[in-house]
Chain A
Amino acid sequence: KQEVTQIPAALSVPEGENLVLNCSFTDSAIYNLQWFRQDPGKGLTSLLLIQSSQREQTSGRLNASLDKSSGRSTLYIAASQPGDSATYLCAVGHAGNNRKLIWGLGTSLAVNP
């Protein structure tokens, strides 16, 4: 059974820091991995999608990497800003049942001015 874990659960950093959020999964037979952002009480905003054949994706100040063999993905945020404060969730599309995503519980990020 696929399990997705995100570490840390919460993170507070001063503005301007570069930071790394971690996502690990137990079954490497994944179809894709997607990072999302969620503001309090709101829906989910897709940040980056990495297909299983890819190693990384970049969008602006965000870079996500994928290492299937070790069951890990990282989301790197450069030069963090207060507007980056949100919960970041990773979700894994499992190759055995790629009609649904398996989710982590998220990392709650606070960037302080």
Chain B
Amino acid sequence: ETGVTQSPTHLIKTRGQQVTLRCSSQSGHNTVSWYQQALGQGPQFIFQYYREEENGRGNFPPRFSGLQFPNYSSELNVNALELDDSALYLCASSLDGQGAGELFFGEGSRLTVL
């Protein structure tokens, strides 16, 4: 059984650029959630995908978008990057799209926006 994997682990972008972060869910899991964690803060929910459909969204602007693929892997896209987007982006997979299941997190992608 493979765990949740994220790529890239670190990246540096400049303001205005676009970034795509990737996540492979744990084997057998059909739900992927994305979180943003700023330094010293708890994670903030961005959105969740269940069986390729968006299944809930937090208070993030539309320039944060995502996809889930038939194999349940997922992408997080951020357009028009701002300095405040610098954070650790965490992907979590679970078996249950209704939130009852345990979440399993990847190691995260650390994004720095200059």
A interface vs B, CB < 8 Å?
4, 31-32, 34, 36, 41-46, 49, 51, 89, 91, 93, 97-101, 103-106
Considering only residues 63-114 of chain B, those with a C-beta below 8 Å from chain A are: 88, 90, 92, 97-100, 102-108, 110
Chain B residues, Cβ within 8 Å of A106: 42
Chain B residues, Cβ within 8 Å of A51: 100
Residue of B nearest to A99 (CB): B56
Whether A100 and B104, one on each chain, are in contact in the complex, defined by CB atoms closer than 8 angstroms, is no
Chain A residues, Cβ within 8 Å of B100: 31-32, 51, 93, 98
Q: Looking at the assembled complex, report how far the CB atom of A22 sits from the nearest CB atom of chain B, in whole angstroms.
A: 15
Whether B105 and A46, one on each chain, are in contact in the complex, defined by CB atoms closer than 8 angstroms, is yes
Whether B45 and A101, one on each chain, are in contact in the complex, defined by CB atoms closer than 8 angstroms, is yes
B41, B56, B102, B107: which contacts A100 (Cβ < 8 A)?
B56
Question: How many chain B residues touch the partner (CB < 8 A)?
Answer: 28
Q: A99-B48, A103-B42, A105-B41 are in contact. Are A34 and B103 (CB under 8 A)?
A: yes
Interface string of B2-19 (1 = CB under 8 A from A): 001010000000000000
Chain A residues, Cβ within 8 Å of B42: 4, 89, 91, 103-106
B56, B98, B107: which contacts A43 (Cβ < 8 A)?
B107
Residue of A nearest to B101 (CB): A49
Whether A93 and B99, one on each chain, are in contact in the complex, defined by CB atoms closer than 8 angstroms, is yes
28 contacts between A and B (CB under 8 A): A31-B99, A42-B107, A43-B4, A43-B107, A44-B43, A44-B103, A44-B105, A46-B103, A46-B105, A89-B42, A91-B43, A93-B99, A97-B56, A98-B98, A99-B33, A99-B48, A99-B55, A99-B56, A99-B97, A100-B33, A100-B45, A100-B56, A100-B99, A101-B103, A103-B44, A105-B41, A105-B42, A106-B42
